[in-house]
Structure 1
Amino acid sequence: MTIQRLSSDVSSKIAAGEVIERPASVARELIDNALDSGATNIRIVIEDGGKTLIDVGDDGAGIAPAQLPLAIERHSTSKLSSVDDLTHIQTLGFRGEALASIVAVAELSLRSVNAQGEAGLEIQTRGNSLVHQRPVGGARGTRAIVRGLFRTLPARLEFLRANRTESNHVANTVTRAALAHPDVSFELRDNERIRIQTPGTGNLRDALTSIYGIKLVDDLIELPPGQTLGIDGFISQPHLHRPSRSEISFFVNGRWVTDRLLSAAVSDAYRSMVPSGRFPIIVLRLSLPPEEVDVNVHPAKAEIRFRQSSEVFRQVSATLRRALSSTRKTTPAVFDKPVIDQFFFPNTNVDWRQTAPMPTRTFSTEPIKTSSREHSQTLGSSPISKNPEMRALGQVDQTYIVAISADGLYLIDQHAAHERVLYEQFESISSEATQQLLDPLTIVLSAEESEWVSAHKAALQKLGLMISLFGPDSWLIRSVPLAIGRRDAAEYLRQVIAEALSPEFRRLEATEQAHWSMACRAAIKSGDKLSTEEMDQLIEKLQACDLGLTCPHGRPTIVLMTRTMLDKQFGRI
């Protein structure tokens, strides 16, 4: 085969394929240009999902008539002039490829006026060539009309999806831009139907409300201003989650990005709050010095690299975790739609019983037994003043506690609730809350188990599990946490190790692995019979938890069925 130089037409179409993948790519590039020009109003019109028409107009600074033909040439840009500029990029576009890529795969009409009252210029392209230009007047700004995307590339056109799918991709692009720049008013018309319209007030809440609706936004937690790394945004409460990451949005210096580091930080912040396979709603914005972020990773400019990635991870995770821990806000469940994306959680306005002094052995780090007789001895039966606003009624199959209040009927998963109580107690436990074993137990572990114990020995000791090596794979258990009582300490340690080595636990830090596993093993179980007093005490301890609405695995601990929900179930309304 003979090596030959590709024609400019072929090479431009190949290069355009990296930048323009679908109609949404065109919309993104034109919106980025509009934002970089300082526009405060951006209007987008599409037809047939953007395959037939993409029309983007703005009121930005515009382009001088003499420079407009140059703007459609490859690697032509006003946003950088030297390689050094790549280290502190402050604009969304910078590669000088967007308009040239569009011209290579579609027909483009580009009209721009850069000064009010002065003549502007309109140019038209077809077949990757400039075919017409003429002077125009009008208001300051730029309007780009793209027609017949991929019409000259049938193979690419066949890979586009249905019009509705492509329209949704364009809508997602406009949504991201509107959330990244709430000070800009956006309007998206899809086949003459207004699909998105934001006010451009500069308030992120207003932009979110115009897109998602007031009901959802009121159920989100707003991150307070003044955070490290310029972090702000909105995050969902633990009970509000989705089956995919589609509603997790990250913005860095006004740019929507996809980033594994930020995704991992969110997962870390929501650990023990959201069930496996479910994801919170996140709109998170970061403002960093431009030199701390590398945006020149991919032509689509959606991937970035942080100079200090570990610090970004730590700060994002800590900020979200603080916000989740400091709010006790929850939203009552609504029963007028299928319960798919949220659990029924009680409103914290419920008049919970005031916390009263608990017997020293009740739901604390004292031994928790598993038989009903042992429960009556361990949990105690000292009377607690009854409060008609929240009282336990009984158990369902010795698994769920039934309680009642003025708000409705509550169902509480006794194991999940006690697991949360113990988990938070273990987080504050000291190594003094242990019981020494007069006769240390010997346990033989596998090589993998021994390796885990060796690596996490200090963490286990903080929790009261004092272990020392007694041979190649033999260990001596010298003390155990008070919470496991008279359980077989050797078997208990094996269970802790087995869970810590499971995929669900491997992502956690050593101390948290132990917290999680010990809470799960020490908590009362399904099938354990509780007295009314014991149920009341558990409810009381649960409502004192920082994150009492979910167990450490992210499953709900308590469910509310309101009077309205019951009326609907019985056909009253």
Structure 2
Amino acid sequence: MSSIIQLLPDHVANQIAAGEVVQRPASVVKELVENAVDAGATEIKLIVKDAGKTLIQVIDNGKGMSVTDARLCFERHATSKIRHAEDLFSLHTKGFRGEALASIAAIAHVELKTKQDQEELGTHIVIEGSKFVSQDVAVLPRGTSFSVKNLFFNIPARRNFLKSDTVEFRHIVDDFERVALAHPNIHFMLYHNGSEMFNLPQSNLRQRIVNVFGGKTNEKLVPVTESTEIMGIQGFVGKPEFAKKNRGEQFFFVNDRFIKSPYLHHAIMAAYEGLLKDGSQPSYFLYLDVPPHTIDINIHPTKTEIKFDDDQAMYAILRSSIKHSLGQFNVAPVLDFERDSSLDIPYDYKEKESEFPLIQVDANFNPFATETETPSRSFSSSSGGSHSFGSGGSNYNSGYKKQESNASWESLYVGLKTATEEIDLGEIQFESEEVTGSLFDDTEVESAGKRTYQIQKKYIVSPIKSGMMILYQERAHQRILYEQFLTNITVHHAASQQLLFPLELHFSQSEMAMIKELRSSLENTGFVFDAMTSEILVISGLPVNVAESEVNGLLEELIRDLQGDLPESSFSQSDRIAKSMARSLSVKTGTYLTEKEQENIVNSLFACKDPNVSPFNKPTFITMGVEDLDKRFAI
């Protein structure tokens, strides 16, 4: 009987290994750029065409490779960083598996040009699908140039599963940003289809963050610094007022390697407790320096997950450090027991006694005393004669007399008698009160004719012939807005409200690239864009049902919803945009609605084409018949 188990050929084994290492063009970018960093390069240039499907080229000025190393680097399990098994627990470099270049060469056309500084000539190697095509000597500059062309050319099924160019390029940008943020002392450049996307010169950590995410980021950052025996922390966190709904600007680096850690992320969220709105996510760029022997990096193929020896201590240190920084820079409320110098007594007044104001009181003053007569005064001329005024022979005495005030305060009560003598209580008439016969006021009586009611600011109840109908107000409004936006996008007749002052918003370059892809669809919903640069978006008009204060959150949530995939077809793209905008702008649970607003939602919902479910296939309303109520009461 023949043997069933057999060894796979090398080219087949390499293609299988490539499935683990190379998932998309971004995986190739990550491996090649990290190799350039390990080579000691001070300048790294990344050139991409068609989101990496046609070309990925990484050029660096590192130390290069010899002829032997250039040939051996494409063999499986070949590495320059590991000699013993113990080295896996003391790693200071990036890639170390020794399978990346062999896997890349198995599924693409690879061209390698490399030269060491002490050598006069370099090496030029061409490989196609794990097969060496040529190896020549060439005149080259110091460093390495690695070109990967026609990715997945021999695995068409894998190539067909790649997303659109926009999505694949965004993944490339994500991996590029992670490496660039970890190494601010290296000059990075990124070119896509001949256009320069990033040019990040050598700088400090804060400037690198600003260069990647835009100049507006500088005012959002709060520095964090801590040094302990377990780990050292440096970096920045974002101020709470700049928190976003998406998690795009959250970066953990351990020993200059980007990682993902939900456990440490929870520590940061605990530090922001009470400072963030529900659903908001803070920005952070944190660099942790941990002894290599206390972590295990090799637990995930992409090496983005790390196992820590003492993760509880790291949790406590990280949380307290961030809380201290937020309080130190007056972001969070703190208790400050230091003396306020502005409340000190000036030195010149230190020995002086305080002077109390003097109050003069006339002890003989009686406000109820009778006013005394004032003597009359005569005004005469210098000759002693009196002056005559007027005409017709009438004389007016120049002297005048003040009228005497004979009335005293007792005269105010003259003629009044005591109530006991004259007042007859029986003759008093009281204003009659109208008896309505109702326990409720007019407003409550009128409410008996209401057609809708709101319960817990969440549901709308409306009576119908067979019983009653209960609407979920948020889902119902989502369905209404979804059909409105979808109609506007497809029919191109949306109305816009012009802004008196244009609205200027700031986004990162990757976010702006996505907004440019969605520009035509957003304009069909009612947006009017005045200008679009690499970081700034100027809006002069908005859809009718969008407030100016909601625009930033609306676009951020739209970017977050489309972060995973941007549909290529126009209808799928319009559908995703309409769903995202409907979810952002719908009335949320906890919103009070007036009776007219309730009726408007009910009427608008049943004017929709599909009122039964929300855009996310969840029921919008239920009905309860009288029979159901009778069963409840066991009638």
Give the TM-score category using the shorter length. 0.5 to 0.7
Give aligned-pair identity as a percent: 37
Report the alpha carbon displacement of residue 226 of structure 1 after superposing the two structures with TM.
4.7
**Equivalent residue of 2:207, what SS?**
helix
- In the alignment, the residues of structure 2 paired with residue 207 and residue 137 of structure 1 have an alpha-carbon distance, to the nearest angstrom, of 34
Contact 1:112 1:143 (C-alpha < 8 Å) held by counterparts: yes
Q: After superposition, give the CA deviation of every residue in 1:445-466 in whole Å (9 maximum; x if it has no partner).
A: xxxxxxxxxxxxxxxxxxxxxx
Q: After superposition, give the CA deviation of every residue in 1:1-24 in whole Å (9 maximum; x if it has no partner).
A: 944433322221111111111111
Contact 2:26 2:172 (C-alpha < 8 Å) held by counterparts: yes
* Counterpart AA for 1:170: I
Matches within 5 A, 1:100-119: 100-116=102-118, 118-119=120-121
- In the alignment, the residues of structure 2 paired with residue 313 and residue 63 of structure 1 have an alpha-carbon distance, to the nearest angstrom, of 42
Report the alpha carbon displacement of residue 179 of structure 1 after superposing the two structures with TM.
0.6
1:246 maps to 248
1:151 maps to 153
* Counterpart AA for 1:193: S
- In the alignment, the residues of structure 1 paired with residue 81 and residue 194 of structure 2 have an alpha-carbon distance, to the nearest angstrom, of 34
Runs of 4+ in 1 over 4 A off after TM superposition: 225-228
- In the alignment, the residues of structure 1 paired with residue 18 and residue 304 of structure 2 have an alpha-carbon distance, to the nearest angstrom, of 16
Change (3 A) 1:260 1:287: same
Report the alpha carbon displacement of residue 184 of structure 1 after superposing the two structures with TM.
0.6
1:294 maps to 296
Contact 1:117 1:137 (C-alpha < 8 Å) held by counterparts: no
- Provide the TM-score with structure 2 as the length reference: 0.51
Contact 2:153 2:159 (C-alpha < 8 Å) held by counterparts: yes
- In the alignment, the residues of structure 2 paired with residue 143 and residue 117 of structure 1 have an alpha-carbon distance, to the nearest angstrom, of 16
2:260 maps to 258
Q: After superposition, give the CA deviation of every residue in 1:492-523 in whole Å (9 maximum; x if it has no partner).
A: xxxxxxxxxxxxxxxxxxxxxxxxxxxxxxxx
Report the alpha carbon displacement of residue 123 of structure 1 after superposing the two structures with TM.
0.6
- In the alignment, the residues of structure 2 paired with residue 182 and residue 221 of structure 1 have an alpha-carbon distance, to the nearest angstrom, of 18
**What RMSD in Å do the two structures reach over aligned CA positions?**
2.0
Matches within 5 A, 1:262-277: 262-277=264-279
Contact 2:53 2:150 (C-alpha < 8 Å) held by counterparts: yes
Report the alpha carbon displacement of residue 259 of structure 1 after superposing the two structures with TM.
1.5
Report the alpha carbon displacement of residue 128 of structure 1 after superposing the two structures with TM.
1.4
**Equivalent residue of 2:241, what SS?**
coil
**Bigger shift: residues 219-228 or 208-217:** 219-228
- In the alignment, the residues of structure 1 paired with residue 61 and residue 105 of structure 2 have an alpha-carbon distance, to the nearest angstrom, of 22
Contact 2:65 2:115 (C-alpha < 8 Å) held by counterparts: yes
- In the alignment, the residues of structure 1 paired with residue 216 and residue 128 of structure 2 have an alpha-carbon distance, to the nearest angstrom, of 47
Q: After superposition, give the CA deviation of every residue in 1:24-49 in whole Å (9 maximum; x if it has no partner).
A: 10000001101111111000000000
Matches within 5 A, 1:56-455: 56-116=58-118, 118-201=120-203, 203-224=204-225, 226=227, 229-328=231-330
Report the alpha carbon displacement of residue 244 of structure 1 after superposing the two structures with TM.
2.2
Contact 2:79 2:96 (C-alpha < 8 Å) held by counterparts: yes
Report the alpha carbon displacement of residue 116 of structure 1 after superposing the two structures with TM.
4.7
1:44 maps to 46
Q: After superposition, give the CA deviation of every residue in 1:55-102 in whole Å (9 maximum; x if it has no partner).
A: 001011111112211011111011011101111011111111111111
1:402 maps to none
- In the alignment, the residues of structure 2 paired with residue 136 and residue 150 of structure 1 have an alpha-carbon distance, to the nearest angstrom, of 28
Q: After superposition, give the CA deviation of every residue in 1:123-174 in whole Å (9 maximum; x if it has no partner).
A: 1100211111111223211110000111111111111111111111111111
Choose 1 or 2 for highest CA Rg.
2
Work out the number of aligned pairs and report it: 333
Residue 31 (structure 1) aligned with residue 33 (structure 2):
yes
Contact 2:108 2:129 (C-alpha < 8 Å) held by counterparts: yes
Contact 1:113 1:141 (C-alpha < 8 Å) held by counterparts: yes
- In the alignment, the residues of structure 2 paired with residue 4 and residue 242 of structure 1 have an alpha-carbon distance, to the nearest angstrom, of 55
Change (3 A) 1:304 1:312: same
Contact 2:226 2:321 (C-alpha < 8 Å) held by counterparts: no
**Equivalent residue of 1:209, what SS?**
helix
- In the alignment, the residues of structure 1 paired with residue 186 and residue 286 of structure 2 have an alpha-carbon distance, to the nearest angstrom, of 18
Structure 1 unaligned blocks of 5 or more: 331-353, 356-567
* Counterpart AA for 1:211: V
Question: Which residue of 55, 59, 62 maps to 2:57?
Answer: 55
2:552 maps to none
Change (3 A) 1:139 1:116: farther
Q: After superposition, give the CA deviation of every residue in 1:455-490 in whole Å (9 maximum; x if it has no partner).
A: xxxxxxxxxxxxxxxxxxxxxxxxxxxxxxxxxxxx
Matches within 5 A, 1:393-542: none
Change (3 A) 1:225 1:262: closer
Contact 1:45 1:188 (C-alpha < 8 Å) held by counterparts: yes
- In the alignment, the residues of structure 1 paired with residue 322 and residue 331 of structure 2 have an alpha-carbon distance, to the nearest angstrom, of 15
Contact 1:232 1:286 (C-alpha < 8 Å) held by counterparts: yes
Contact 1:62 1:141 (C-alpha < 8 Å) held by counterparts: yes
- In the alignment, the residues of structure 2 paired with residue 328 and residue 322 of structure 1 have an alpha-carbon distance, to the nearest angstrom, of 10
